[in-house]
Amino acid sequence: MELYMKYHRFFREVKGLFVVLTRGGALAALAILPITLCQVSFAQFSYAPIRVTGAVETQARGINNNGEIVGFYKTVACTDMNLEVPNCNTKGFKYVNGTYIKLMVPNSVSTAILGVNDLGDLVGFYTKSDNSRHGFIWFHQNVVKTIDDANPSGFATIPFGINKAGTVVGGLWAISQSGTFAEGGWVWVNGKFSVMDPIAPNAAGPCCWSVDGISNNGIISGHVFQADFNQAWLKEGTDEDFYMDTPDGLNGSDTFGTGLNSATDIIGFGVRGWFAKHIELNEGSDDSKEVAPSFITVQPPGCGPALPFGINDARGIVGTCRDSTGVHGFLAKPNF
C-alpha cells in the first residue's frame, strides 16, 4: 500500500499541471488542420501543436512510419486521475494527410486510441454503457477485435502499442475516480497473452509495471515501480536494462519509458519529457561496462512539462503538453 500511495501521489502532483480550466461547447465538425512546424533555435526538435477542432483537450499518443498520428480528445472538461490511462470519457482520432478522422468503437461510450502500426492497425481501449472497459485492435480492414486478458482481479486490459507483425503490448490497470495505476504488463501474440515481468538487479520486488511500447523488430519498453522509484526499462531478447532520467541537481526521479523505435531510440517522461538516442548502441556482454544513455529534453515552447508517448523510425515524436491555450498534442521532429 505504501508503494501504491507514493505512485499515486506522483501522478496526482504531475496531473495538476494539465488541469483544463475552460469548458468547451459542442464538438464542431472535424476539419483539415495542417501541422506547421515551429523552429526553435535552442531546441533540438521542431514542434507543431495537434488540436482536434472544437475539443476541450487533445492528446496525441502514437505515430507510425507513414506519419499517421493517433490519440483521443475530450468534448467535456474532465480531469483524469492518471496521465497514461484516462478515466474520463474520450473520443478517438486518426490524423492522416492533414485531416482529423473521428473514430469510436461501435457501441462504446468512450474510446481511447493509444497506438498505431505501419499497416494502420489501431489499439487502445473502450468503455461500454455498463462502465466496463475492454482492450481492442481496430484492424485497417475496419474490423474491431476485443482483447481482454482473462485475469481474476478485474483489472482493465489496456493495449498501448502494436508493431507491424501484429504483436500487441500493454498492461493490466486499475481505473477509478479515486486512483489509476498499473498492476502488471503483458505481450499479446496471435490471441495469446503472456506476462512480461521486469526484474531489476536489486533486492526490491517489482510492483505496478506495464509494457508501454514495442518496435517493429520486437524490442519492448515500459516502467516498473521498485526501489522507491518508477524506473523505465527496455528489453531486447533476453537482455533487460533499467534506467532513470537524472537531470542535474537530482539524485533520482520517477521515470516512465513510453515508446521506442527499431533503432532503440526511446522516449519517456519524469520531471521532464525526454528522448535517448540508440541506448543499446554500446551494449555488450557485460552490462556493467554499458555506457549510460544521454537524455535530450523534449519540450515544446510555452508548454509545461511535455509527455512524449509515441515515436517512429524517423524520430518523429508525438505527445501531450499544456500551455496557455489548454491541453493539446504535439509533434516533434528532430533537427539532428
Strand partners, 320: 307, 329
Query: Which residues have CB under 8 Å from 290's CB, separation 6+?
Result: 241, 282, 283, 284
pLDDT given for residue 200 in this prediction: 52
Planar angle of CA 215, 122, 206, nearest 5 degrees: 55
pLDDT tens-digit readout, 55-109: 999 999 999 999 999 999 999 999 998 889 999 999 999 999 999 999 999 999 9
Cell 489499439 sits on residue: 123
pLDDT given for residue 246 in this prediction: 67
Query: In whole angstroms, what is the distance from residue 228 CA to residue 223 CA?
Result: 13
What does the DSSP 8-state code read for residue 4?
Answer: H
For the chain, domains (ranges, CATH) are 2-334 (2.120.10.30)
pLDDT given for residue 194 in this prediction: 93
pLDDT given for residue 241 in this prediction: 82
Instruction: Flag residues of the chain having pLDDT under 50.
Output: 1-42, 203
pTM of the model: 0.87
pLDDT given for residue 313 in this prediction: 98
Query: Which residues have CB under 8 Å from 184's CB, separation 6+?
Result: 155, 171, 172, 195, 197, 209, 210
Query: Which residues have CB under 8 Å from 236's CB, separation 6+?
Result: 219, 264, 280, 283
